Chain A
């Protein structure tokens, strides 16, 4: 078993509530887990299950209302230091870049998060490396602004930033939900490359259990703020009886599920023939 030293995130009975009185909403309800160094963890659940709130607790954007949440054995207090080691990729890449500055300058400015900023040449070299890692020639985006690129390209720019900054942990909050299938395959490849080459711990938040199965070492299934199922992809996909997991699996439209929608034309035609 893995030793205590390799625990990156540790949550003990963590809850997060919003509002008070009768308007109180419990977004995360009494969750406990450990995330180890170098793992890819997927948090899977429908909308409103609290998965994004959990991701934001990991980033230090929300403090936990109850319970203890530790990063490397200590509480998250200094956010600048925290973000030097824990970085994120969000759903909508266009809202992550300022459209008044070139992408290149923003990628270089990202290094301001470090207390000890590398030299200018070093920064330039690392941004180039990051861009090459996501198969973009640095020359192609020279002098370009965010609105000049497509959604897929922008999502790659976000990942290029991660390749350049090389944080220890990456929180990816639905990075694939706004892009089409081709780009999605690309992004999953890059996530796995991050783990393989930079030994990064990755928390991948998604609503598609199929994606989670493909990339992750362990999967957490969330429902109404609780983690209802956790384990390796095999345990979660094959050996489970847990109702919410089965529903998530069942709801993915797939070619081999002939009767995915009971009242569709297809299902009806099948019944006739």
Chain B
């Protein structure tokens, strides 16, 4: 077994409100990733996906605070470090993020090359200094990989580029310093289906060329995740409720929530076309107080009275981990 490059142990995060009230956004998340693995995280909006991303990068900026647990990249802990320290020594070099909206991530009044130079300047570890020419050369070699008109793109303002080019530039800038881990937080959810396919294809192209190797991909589209990820974790109300290979989770879900989530998907496949997508009734529980029992109990079809009282632990069902005492 090869060594894990990214380890998360019992990570819990909370937001601290103005009056000392806490919102427990992420509870007890643990996983390990090997070099070259792609982990997909799926869940509905508000389930804590993006909070988890902040935690995974060690960027716990108030009002977000770590409650407990640890995150380690290649053995180095990211917890309890200052934001400045994380920014200078971790971000972009060890862990890098591909943000959601490409347009919002780029400064509209600066050229792509200037934005990229800023990223290098901000995240350079002490001692290494590159002059403008070296930076530009490095940018060119990287952007050439994308099959774009490199000189034109680098000397353009974001508004002069198409949606696909912008998303590519963002991915290019994010991976400029060869990070060990890339976290993609819904990189395609604002794009149409054709551009989405292009971007995903490009990400795999970069994986092939060895720009980065390990990735966490976050989205709410389970079918998309099936194509992208090796392993999938389903998140609900701040917890992982099911974790297994993509095949297991998407084709044969066992947790009632995963089943319901798959039931809400539409398909253009002929046999599936007339099947009615079923929405999950109700809303996720409020996370203001720590919840002891099952968080999905109120919306679950197989819930029993004891579900709300007993703590549900991850247990192995049919080769994957499921957080439900009654899943089969």
Contact = CB atoms under 8 A, between A and B. Distances in A.
A210 B267 contact: yes
B261 to A, nearest CB: 7
B266 A210 contact: yes
B195 A182 contact: no
Contacts, number: 117
Nearest to B163: A47
A188 B193 contact: no
A215 to B, nearest CB: 10
A260 interface: yes
A141 to B, nearest CB: 13
Interface residues of A, number: 43
A139 interface: no
Interface stretch (A77-85, A122-130, A193-201, A243-251): A243-251
Contacts of B163: 47-48
Interface in B191-250: 191-197, 200-201, 204-205, 208, 220-224, 226-228, 230, 246, 250
Contacts of B270: 238
A47 B264 contact: no
Nearest to B204: A263
A250 B159 CA distance: 29
Contacts of B251: 255
Interface of B: 38, 44-46, 163, 190-197, 200-201, 204-205, 208, 220-224, 226-228, 230, 246, 250-251, 260-261, 264-270, 273, 277-280
A249 B163 CA distance: 21
Contact of B227 (A48, A152, A209, A261): A261
A209 B194 contact: no
Interface of A: 46-48, 150-152, 177, 179-186, 188-189, 207-211, 213-214, 237-238, 247-249, 251-257, 260-266
A189 B280 CA distance: 12
Contacts of B278: 185
Contacts of A179: 45
A180 B186 CA distance: 11
A181 B190 CA distance: 14
Contacts of B273: 213-214, 237
